[in-house]
Amino acid sequence: MQLQKIIGLPPSTYISDSLMLNSMPVLEFTPCYPEMETGLTLFSLKEEWQEYESLLEKHGFSLSEKPLKLAFLAENLPADSFSNDYGESFLDKLTDVVSSGAAEISQIFGSRNVKETYGKISSILSESGGVAGMVGGGMDTAVKQAKSFFEKAEGGFGSRFQGVGDLVSGLLAGARIDFPQIWKNSVYNPSYSFNIRLFNPNPGNKTATEKYIIGPLAAILLLGLPITEDGSTYNWPFLHKVYCKGLFHMDPAFITNITVTKGGEQQLVSYNQRLSIVDVRIDIGSLFGSILAGKQYESKNRPTLENYLNILKEERKIESVRGNPQGSQSSSPTSDLLKTNPSVARETETEKGISPRVGASEKGIYDTLKTTQPSI
């Protein structure tokens, strides 16, 4: 069974089909496999329609044209995020020349420099000579070692950085310098999420259900499901080129998530438990985490500012809203169904022998009331 040209268009109404088509943005998916190439980009994408269409045909469906076109609801348009990450430089680490213990000691004694810290420690130990004697002079030895460390550190920095003796003394006592942060990395994070609503104009008809619900679901799920060769093991799904004229062109892209909501937000399921609406949400991401800007740089295999801006210059052809409504466009699900097989749209499960939900007596009462009370 051949699918419609644009999946996700609503059924025909008294409104022009062209008007509905103009109001809905359309995605174009091209399934691909990676292909090795020279350079740091590593690989580019090679279109793989033969593999995709053979998988789709196993489920009894085929595409009417390529690429695969999906009309989505304009409720959550694509959003791009460009961010820069800044952090501390190596100078912040160089100024941290003493242990955290030395800085804490200076803070405990309320000292702002090395000499003041050493002086207060010596004074306290001199007043408590009994304690030093109890430990066999060990405390006095520790103080002398600390004094030697502070003097060597201060002298060493003072000889290398002339005129900054007070600064070094303060650093050794736990002071800090607020150096400016430096650039670490840049990140390009596109957030693309699309809701495709599949409409079934006649849930009572098996052909309509297959054409407008089951077939489109098969085509969409094949874009993101892993592929098996032997029925037991599986490997990567398709990568993609995703294009939406005037909005974006993501190449290479991958599908991060597909969410299928049966019945949609309205939970529309017919009495025979066939689906009237199915909402399919597709989230896609980019294989590259940055977008580049350069004076003499152009690449079709990764995001660049030039490619990004060129897409925004494009526009889609507007369909003429003049003409016959009720199926003026062949891409409309209902008009397509009526043109290919007019009897199909009238066929219901009731005509196949299932008893109607309203009995003959109730119908007679209704007809009588309708005759006597024309306003009903």
pLDDT > 70 in the chain, percent: 63
Cis peptide before 374 (omega within 30 of 0): no
> What is the C-alpha separation between 257 and 205, in angstroms, rounded?
31
pTM for the whole thing?
0.68
List % helix, strand, coil for the chain (3-state, nearest 5). Answer: 35, 25, 40
Question: Is position 107 within any domain?
Answer: yes
The verdict on 100 and 42 lying in the same domain is: no
Q: Is the preceding omega at residue 252 within 30 degrees of 0, hence cis?
A: yes
Q: Beta-carbon neighbour count of residue 182 at 10 Å?
A: 12
Give the C-alpha distances (Å, rounded to integers) separating 299 from 178, 287, 315, 322.
40, 15, 22, 42
370 located within any domain: no
- Please say which residue of 109, 144, 172 terminates a domain: 172
Distance CA 139, CA 128 (A): 11
CB-CB contact of 277 with 270 (8 Å): no
Kindly state the tokens that stand for 14.
């008294």
Query: Pseudo-torsion of CA 182, 188, 191, 192, nearest 10°?
Result: 180
User: What angle separates helix 114-127 from helix 138-160, to the nearest 10 degrees?
Assistant: 170
Instruction: Assess if residue 311 is contained within a domain.
Output: yes
Tell me, yes or no, whether 374 lies in a domain. no
Span of 37-46, 209-218, 340-349 with lowest mean pLDDT: 340-349
Mean pLDDT of the chain: 76
Domain stop point among 121, 143, 172: 172
Residue 7 — pLDDT band, cuts 50, 70, 90? Answer: very high
CA–CA dist 28, 4 (Å, integer): 14
d(CA 35, CA 44): 5
Same domain? For 16 and 65 the reply is yes
Q: According to the model, what pLDDT value does residue 10 have?
A: 83
In a domain, 1, yes or no: no
| Shared domain check, 155 and 213 | no
Compute CA 251 distance to the chain's CA centroid, rounded to the nearest angstrom: 14
Residue 63: the pLDDT is 92
Q: Both 33 and 94 in a single domain?
A: no
Contacts of 143 (CB under 8 A, 6+ apart): 121, 122, 125
More confident residue, 326 or 364: 364
Specify if 180 maps to a domain.
no
Which structure tokens are listed for 184?
A: 């670490």
Report the pLDDT value the prediction gives residue 214, as an integer from 0 to 100.
Answer: 94
Q: Domain check: are 204 and 256 in the same one?
A: yes
Q: How many domains does the chain have?
A: 2
Q: Which domain holds residue 165?
A: 90-172
Q: How far is CA 166 from CA 116, 120, 155, 157, 159, in A?
A: 12, 18, 11, 10, 12
Task: Tell me what pLDDT residue 162 has.
Answer: 47
In this structure, are 67 and 104 located in the same domain? no
Q: Domain check: are 277 and 332 in the same one?
A: yes
pLDDT digits (tens, 9 = 90+) for 177-192: 778 888 999 999 888 9
Same domain flag for 71 and 108: no
356 secondary structure, DSSP code: P
Whether 72 and 95 share a structural domain = no
Task: Decide if 247 is inside a domain.
Answer: yes
Helix or strand run (H / E) with residue 360: helix 360-372
Any bridge partners for residue 234, and if so which? 228
The single-letter code of the amino acid at 144 is K
pLDDT tens sequence across 331-368: 455 555 555 554 444 444 444 555 666 778 888 888 88
Q: What is the mean pLDDT of residues 305-329?
A: 74
Paired sense of beta strands 182-199 and 227-228, if any: unpaired
* Domain co-membership, 278 together with 342: yes
**Within a domain: 179:** no
Check whether residue 27 and residue 156 sit in a common domain: no
Domain ends where: 172, 205, 223?
A: 172
Kindly state whether residues 279 and 313 are assigned to the same domain: yes
How far is Cα 288 from Cα 132, in angstroms, rounded to an integer?
Answer: 65
CA dihedral 147→150→153→155, nearest 10 degrees, is: -70
Which amino acid, one-letter code, is at 47?
A: E
